[in-house]
Amino acid sequence: MEQFRVVKSITLELAEAMLDQAVTKARELGVSVNIAIMDEAGNLKSFRRMDGAPLLSIGIAQRKAYSAAAFRIPTGDWYDLIKENPRLLHGIPHTPDLAIFGGGFPIKVEGEVIGAIGVSGASEEQDEEICRAALEVVKN
Amino acid sequence: MEQFRVVKSITLELAEAMLDQAVTKARELGVSVNIAIMDEAGNLKSFRRMDGAPLLSIGIAQRKAYSAAAFRIPTGDWYDLIKENPRLLHGIPHTPDLAIFGGGFPIKVEGEVIGAIGVSGASEEQDEEICRAALEVVKN
Amino acid sequence: MEQFRVVKSITLELAEAMLDQAVTKARELGVSVNIAIMDEAGNLKSFRRMDGAPLLSIGIAQRKAYSAAAFRIPTGDWYDLIKENPRLLHGIPHTPDLAIFGGGFPIKVEGEVIGAIGVSGASEEQDEEICRAALEVVKN
Amino acid sequence: MEQFRVVKSITLELAEAMLDQAVTKARELGVSVNIAIMDEAGNLKSFRRMDGAPLLSIGIAQRKAYSAAAFRIPTGDWYDLIKENPRLLHGIPHTPDLAIFGGGFPIKVEGEVIGAIGVSGASEEQDEEICRAALEVVKN
């Protein structure tokens, strides 16, 4: 019997390097955001709220990261998956802790999800741009 | 005076047989899902998360089973019941612990609900197919 | 930079074998209990409520398993750790989702925690005895 | 009429410098902890979970920081304030989000609280020692 499976989980070192990069990109864009990193199991690893970033985004950033860890897809992909089916369109967005708008991405190494990042506080496009800048830190 | 009424409640034995069948069907379909069985009173009886199944579906599977136990109808039937009435369409999906999309079914014996099953983690169609496979275990 | 660390996570196969053994032991003892297995990250993997087991124990069994996964020690060890310090004795037990009484154990393979088991519904001694019986299934 | 009062709120820059120092001290002590920094309003500013730190401490660290921000005293001071009054001793610890054991401290500049730090995952003494090391970063 296989007793366990091997899982890869993001280190604090990578999480912090990603947060550094995210903050740098946000400053370039002139916005203040919240950034959350979760491990592959959806537990909080690292978090930063930039000075002046919106308070509600403390939670939104975490839910975006959690959603991306929990379903292994970018949060911005959800709408296309549910838009044609009215049951899903009216039902799925009520799932607690699920964000279905852009700004959450899985963090992958060698094809495996090791964690996730969520950014909230600017426009959806800017939140996603900040995520992508942070993901460039990850070596594959 | 009638002092009590007799309620039929699913056994652990049937719940486990249904979970076995659900896991077998999920493997046939090549998907990893969460499966929850609740009794007729909406209390958790049995649960399995297949290796690699999405984390958010731990809760979704339980909410589907709870909804099916609580209203005695498949969760996928809700949309047709509310779609013509905008108050219901925009209000009902906010009900805590109610899932209005497919993948939750009551378990009936001799016309009576003895429990419910909820499956989450694959497409709505696959989640429902896995439920139906599990329901075939029930003898009527 | 180390980007990830390798973690071992319990399989559904081992979780189910442990639940089988737990139920067998509970029947030997003539008690009905709730049994929860979580993975090493504190996410629910598998659960069974025996026929007639107490309803509040649905949650207690899960909190015991969660606590054992989250702190890597048996839940029954907490009291000795806090009893001499009145701040801890009056404060720690209020931690949400922490159980400080017996019936939760980490599941270890090769010295690493791969998950945890929690049992609730009988006496503290019986809950622990059922856990230990289930842990015998684990090969080291 | 005074229309507003000026509030001093910790910057992300100081929060991160404190977290760096806290992680350095934890490594010296050979422990893995969770560290949370909140602003003076009790909103999360910055957070780190060291590799291998206990999961339940994700929440405990935040509750310690919140408690210290909310009442402007170290969390370890609570017990002496309530121990002589049985109503307080048995009542106060039930307050949601209040931690009454050591490991949470307000962050003060020029006599004013600008935020708070909470550490959880090691012994009470070590958690407090890590907080104090981080507080040395603050210039007064």
DSSP codes of every residue in chain C: ---EEEEEEE-HHHHHHHHHHHHHHHHHHT---EEEEEETTS-EEEEEE-TT--SHHHHHHHHHHHHHHHHSS-GGGHHHHHTT-HHHHHHGGGSTT---SSSEEEEEETTEEEEEEEEESS-HHHHHHHHHHHHTTS--
Confidence check: pLDDT of C31 > 80: yes
- With CA atoms as reference, report the closest residue to B26 among B97, B108, B126, B111: B126
pLDDT for A106-138, tens place per residue?
999 999 999 999 999 999 999 999 999 999 999
C98: nearest CA in chain D?
D56
Residue A42 to residues C28, D3, D8: CA-CA distances in angstroms? 38, 43, 33
D42: nearest CA in chain A?
A55
Distance between start and end Cα atoms, chain C: 32
Q: How confident is the model at residue A89 (pLDDT cuts 50, 70, 90)?
A: very high
Q: Are chains A and D in contact at 3+ CB pairs closer than 8 Å?
A: yes
Give residue B65's pLDDT.
98
Q: What is the mean pLDDT of chain D?
A: 97
In whole angstroms, give the CA distance from residue B47 to residue C43: 12
Q: What is the mean pLDDT of chain A?
A: 97
In whole angstroms, give the CA distance from residue A122 to residue A139: 27
Q: Which residue has the tokens 């390097």?
A: A17
Task: Look at B49 and C11 and tell me if their CB atoms are within 8 Å.
Answer: no
- With CA atoms as reference, report the closest residue to B15 among C59, C24, C46: C46
Using the Cβ of C99 and the Cβ atoms of chain D, whether some distance falls under 8 Å is answered with: no
Give residue D92's pLDDT.
96
Give residue C140's pLDDT.
78
Cβ proximity of C3 and C30 under 8 Å: no
Contacts of C38 in chain A (CB under 8 A): none
Bridge-based pairing state of the strands C4-10 and A4-10: antiparallel
Using the Cβ of C110 and the Cβ atoms of chain A, whether some distance falls under 8 Å is answered with: no
Interface test with C, best of A1, A2, A4 (most C CBs within 10 A): A4
Q: How confident is the model at residue D58 (pLDDT cuts 50, 70, 90)?
A: very high
Task: Indicate if the alpha-carbon torsion angle D11, D12, D13, D14 is positive or negative.
Answer: positive
Structure tokens belonging to residue C59: 């949650």
Confidence check: pLDDT of D140 > 80: no
Q: Are chains D and B in contact at 3+ CB pairs closer than 8 Å?
A: no
Give residue A140's pLDDT.
78
Contacts of C11 in chain A (CB under 8 A): 1-5
pLDDT for C86-133, tens place per residue?
999 999 999 999 999 999 999 999 999 999 999 999 999 999 999 999
- Domain coordinates in residue numbering, chain B: 12-135
Residue D68 to residues A48, C25, C87: CA-CA distances in angstroms? 19, 47, 15
Cβ proximity of D134 and D54 under 8 Å: no
- With CA atoms as reference, report the closest residue to C33 among C53, C52, C48, C59: C53
- 3-class secondary structure, A139: coil
Architecture of domain D12-135: 2-Layer Sandwich (3.30)
Query: What is the ipTM score, two decimals?
Result: 0.95
Structure tokens belonging to residue D101: 């054991």
Backbone angles phi, psi at C103, to 5 degrees: 125, 10
* Per-residue model confidence as pLDDT tens for chain B (140 residues): 999 999 999 999 999 999 999 999 999 999 999 999 999 999 999 999 999 999 999 999 999 999 999 999 999 999 999 999 999 999 999 999 999 999 999 999 999 999 999 999 999 999 999 999 999 999 97
pLDDT for C36-91, tens place per residue?
999 999 999 999 999 999 999 999 999 999 999 999 999 999 999 999 999 999 99
Q: Where are the strands (E) in A13-138, listed by range?
A: 34-39, 44-49, 104-109, 112-120
If you average pLDDT over residues A11-23, what whole number do you get? 98
Residues in chain C: 140
Identify the DSSP state of B5.
-
pLDDT for A26-36, tens place per residue?
999 999 999 99
Give residue A2's pLDDT.
95
